[in-house]
Amino acid sequence: MNLLIYLQVSHCSLDTSGTLMLIGQVVDALATPFVGYHSDHTDNVLSARYGRRKLWHLFGTLCVLASFPFIFSECLGCSLSHKWAQLYYFAAFIVIFQIGWAAVQISHLSLIPELSQDDHVRTHLTAVRYGFTVLSNLFVYIVTWIILHVTGECDKQQVGPADAWKFRNIVFIVIAVGSIASVLFHAIVRERQTHRHQELLLSPNESGAHGDFLRRPVMYQVAGVYMSTRLVVNMSQILIPLYLHRTLGLAARALAVVPLALYLGSLAAAGMQRLAPKSCTRKFNYFMGSLCALAGFVWIYFGSNDTYKIYFIYVVAVLIGFGGAVMLVTSLALTADLVGAKTEASAFIYGVMSFSDKLSCGLAIALVQK
């Protein structure tokens, strides 16, 4: 939805909006392997007492809290400035946000392999994690729908610059709830305390663990699967609001309700993945998820009549959400399988995966905007 807000609410040009999205993806791509490497190698008094993963998670959370409100608010003092001032203003906060987001994501993901060595348990944890990610997204769209519904005729009007204050209020609500969730995470979750020198004693070849992974062909195979999956999931989440607004010409209500249907499909998929028997292989799950997502995209290509706009767009959203969620949970489980017992390099591996994901998504967004 951020692309739509830049175009319709903040009055950014098409080129500026695409550039901002590309900057965010490139910074995230560069930050993820950096955070991953240093998260694996952090060794000081604070990390020993608090936990190195949680320490990086805290750093990322503070960066997100400091930057997120400014990204989705009006550019302060830009009304009489050159259009480049708006680009620099948003880009600065986007850089801070993406560095923080990379730290939050990588540190959180790298906890999963450390919690269990069992593949099925790791898949279960990944599905639960993704389920809560979907719930948080559902919360955002429910809040968006409520505010748009209460404060205007969202069934008849499209969003515009006059709605800037509505999105600002949405951001403040999201920040407040997210802050509470982060505090609970840091208060409740206990990270296994292991000093770096102890890990080196247990794994004398750990210093070459990162290079060892980079020399393995399976690393790039998994990265290719993860990158392709993220292209499906991220691009659909980014472009569907724009598709609803500009291609189908739907009212503001659809910007909240259709993505809501998409995330409900994702939530259903996460639940099914969590309950799936061990006999369901990674390949089978990924294949079925791909079929669902592909069916949704084909329907988008051919759908255009009024019945499609009023009813079937929600079926399409559920198909894409369900298929994308199955693909993502499976690809994350494959990444956890790649880590195996070498949890000392888990953050670096997730960082490399995220690097391929962010860079490809950034290039895809830039190409679409052109």
Roughly how many angstroms between the first and final C-alpha of the chain, as a whole number?
Answer: 19
pLDDT digits (tens, 9 = 90+) for 244-298: 888 888 877 787 788 889 988 988 887 787 666 666 788 888 999 999 999 999 9
φ/ψ of 67, rounded to 5, equals -115, -30
With the C-alpha atoms ordered 158, 234, 365, 165, is the resulting torsion angle positive or negative? positive
Instruction: Round to whole Å and give the CA distance between 174 and 165.
Output: 14
Predicted pLDDT of residue 169: 86
Q: Directed axis angle between helix 83-109 and helix 52-71, to 10°?
A: 150
Q: What are the tens digits of pLDDT across the range 141-151?
A: 888 888 877 77
pLDDT at site 360: 87
Average model confidence (pLDDT) across the chain: 81
Q: Is 8 a residue whose pLDDT tops 70? A: no
CATH class of the domain defined by 2-364: mainly alpha
Better-scored residue on pLDDT, 10 or 179: 179
Quick one: pLDDT at residue 202? 46
The confidence score (pLDDT) of residue 10 equals 57
Are 274 and 266 within 8 A, CB to CB? no
Please tell me which residue, 340 or 101, carries the higher pLDDT value: 101
In this prediction, residues 80-93 reach a mean pLDDT of: 81
Q: What is the model's pLDDT at position 63?
A: 95
Give the residue among 65, 91, 95, 94 at the shortest CA–CA distance from 78.
91
User: What percent of the chain shows pLDDT beyond 70?
Assistant: 83
pLDDT of 213 above 80 = no
pLDDT at residue 200, as a whole number = 47
Q: What pLDDT score does 317 carry?
A: 94
Higher-pLDDT residue of 312, 21: 312
Provide the token pair at 228.
Answer: 């392709």
Cβ atoms of 206 and 345 within 8 Å: the answer is: yes
Q: What local confidence, expressed as pLDDT, does residue 336 receive?
A: 82
pLDDT exceeds 50 at position 170: yes
**pLDDT tops 80 at residue 342:** no
Token couple for 273: 């993945």
pLDDT of res. 290: 95
pLDDT at 3: 52
**Confidence check: pLDDT of 343 > 80:** no
Contact 132, 108 (CB under 8 A): no
Q: What is the mean pLDDT of residues 129-133?
A: 85
pLDDT at 92 over 50: yes
Q: What whole-number distance in Å separates Cα of residue 196 and Cα of residue 314?
A: 50
* Dist CA 146 CA 98 (whole Å): 28
Give yes or no for a contact between 29 and 359, defined as CB atoms under 8 angstroms apart: yes
pLDDT band at 197; cut points 50, 70, 90:
very low
159 has a pLDDT exceeding 80: no
Please report the pLDDT score of residue 255 as a whole number.
Answer: 78
pLDDT at 356 over 70: yes
Please state the rounded mean pLDDT for residues 229-240.
Answer: 89
Burial of 84 (C-beta count, 10 Å sphere; 0-12/13-18/19+): exposed
Q: Average pLDDT in the 193-201 region? A: 51
Is residue 363 exposed (0-12), middle (13-18) or buried (19+ Cβ within 10 Å)? middle
Inform me whether the pLDDT recorded for 219 exceeds 50. yes
What is the 3 state secondary structure string of the chain? Answer: CHHHHHHHHCCCCHHHHHHHHHHHHHHHHHHHHHHHHHHHHCCCHHHHHHCHHHHHHHHHHHHHHHHHHHHCCCCCCCCCCCHHHHHHHHHHHHHHHHHHHHHHHHHHHCHHHHHCCCHHHHHHHHHHHHHHHHHHHHHHHHHHHHHHHHHCCCCCCCCCHHHHHHHHHHHHHHHHHHHHHHHHHHHHCCCCCCCHHHHHHHCCCHHHHHHHHHCCHHHHHHHHHHHHHHHHHHHHHHHHHHHHHHHCCCCHHHHHHHHHHHHHHHHHHHHHHHHCCCCCCHHHHHHHHHHHHHHHHHHHHHCCCHHHHHHHHHHHHHHHHHHHHHHHHHHHHHHHHHHCCCHHHHHHHHHHHHHHHHHHHHHHHHHHHC
Query: Best-predicted range by mean pLDDT among 117-131, 152-166, 169-183?
Result: 169-183
350 and 112 Cβ atoms separated by less than 8 Å? no
pLDDT of residue 74 exceeding 80: no
